[in-house]
């Protein structure tokens, strides 16, 4: 039983440390990039609307990789692009239009009945969807980017780790203070 408790204790300690490191990474990455966190050069984008449901649920995080050659994208690719108002949108390409040296994309949200009203110029494409989605994590990331969220995400795991350490030390001291009964030594003749 003690071995099982020790393994569980070590696993919990490791989990709390990983949680703390993950929170620090998310907060610092979000602040450094000025928006969405990045992992291995890929950007994490929060899905803010239901226009791409059921492909992405609102509040999910999608992983988007930067596009080296935006004019090489094809029909059915899911892209993230900058709209005229400076807002990022992620929709599916429904048609590719070549106009001289320019490439334009007709896009549409999977949940929308109509295609987008304006064509997307290739140079406005920010990234391409990689196929990785993390449902509902976007709400957490948005909260972590707020002042209160940043504070809580950095302080809470540390407090949990500190509390757990105090409990572990208390149990160890209690175990040391236990009176021990001497073992009987049997004599063999």
Provide the 8-state DSSP code for 124: G
Half-sphere exposure of 151 (CA within 13 A, CB side): 2
Check if 33 is active-site.
Answer: no
pTM: 0.61
The pLDDT value recorded for residue 86 is: 78
Identify the residue with better confidence: 22 or 91: 91
Convert the pLDDT of each residue in 127-137 to its tens digit: 999 988 888 77
Chain centroid to CA 21: 13
Q: What does the pLDDT average to over 66-89?
A: 89
| pLDDT tier for residue 148 given thresholds of 50, 70 and 90 | confident
The pLDDT value recorded for residue 31 is: 63
Identify the CATH homologous superfamily for domain 2-171. Umud Fragment, subunit A (2.10.109.10)
Q: What does the pLDDT average to over 155-181?
A: 78
From the candidates 49, 146, 151, 163, give the one annotated as an active-site residue: 49
Domain ranges of the chain: 2-171
pLDDT greater than 80 at residue 95:
yes
Percent of the chain with pLDDT over 90: 25
Convert the pLDDT of each residue in 33-62 to its tens digit: 565 666 777 887 888 888 999 998 888 888
Q: What does the pLDDT average to over 72-77?
A: 92
The pLDDT value recorded for residue 163 is: 84
The pLDDT value recorded for residue 186 is: 65
Per-residue HEC secondary structure of the chain comes to: CHHHHHHHHHHHHHHHHHHHHHHHHHHHHHHHHCCCCEECCEEEEECCCCCCCCCCCCCCEEEEEECCCHHHCCCCCEEEEECCCCCEEEEEEEEEEEECCEEEEEEECCCCCCCCCCCEEHHHEEEEEEEEEECCHHHHHHHHHCHHHHHHHHHHHHHHHHHHHHHHHHHHHHHHHCCCCCCCCCCCC
Percent of the chain with pLDDT over 70: 84
């Amino acid at each position: 039983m003690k071995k099982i408790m020790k393994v569980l204790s070590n696993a919990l300690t490791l989990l709390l440390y990983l949680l703390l490191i993950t929170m620090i990474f998310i907060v610092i990455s979000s602040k450094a990039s000025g928006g969405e966190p990045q992992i291995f050069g890929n950007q994490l984008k929060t899905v803010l609307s239901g226009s791409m449901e059921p492909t992405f649920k609102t509040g999910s995080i999608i992983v988007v990789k930067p596009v080296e050659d935006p004019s090489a994208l094809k029909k059915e690719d899911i892209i993230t692009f900058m709209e005229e108002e400076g807002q990022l949108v992620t929709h599916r390409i429904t048609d590719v239009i070549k106009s001289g040296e320019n490439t334009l994309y007709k896009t549409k949200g999977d949940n929308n009945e109509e295609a987008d009203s304006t064509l997307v110029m290739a140079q406005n494409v920010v990234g391409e969807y990689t196929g990785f989605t993390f449902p509902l994590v976007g709400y957490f990331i948005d909260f972590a980017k707020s002042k209160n969220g940043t504070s809580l995400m950095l302080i809470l795991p540390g407090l949990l780790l500190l509390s757990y350490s105090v409990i572990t030390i208390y149990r160890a001291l209690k175990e040391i203070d236990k009176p021990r009964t001497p073992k009987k030594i049997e004599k063999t003749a």
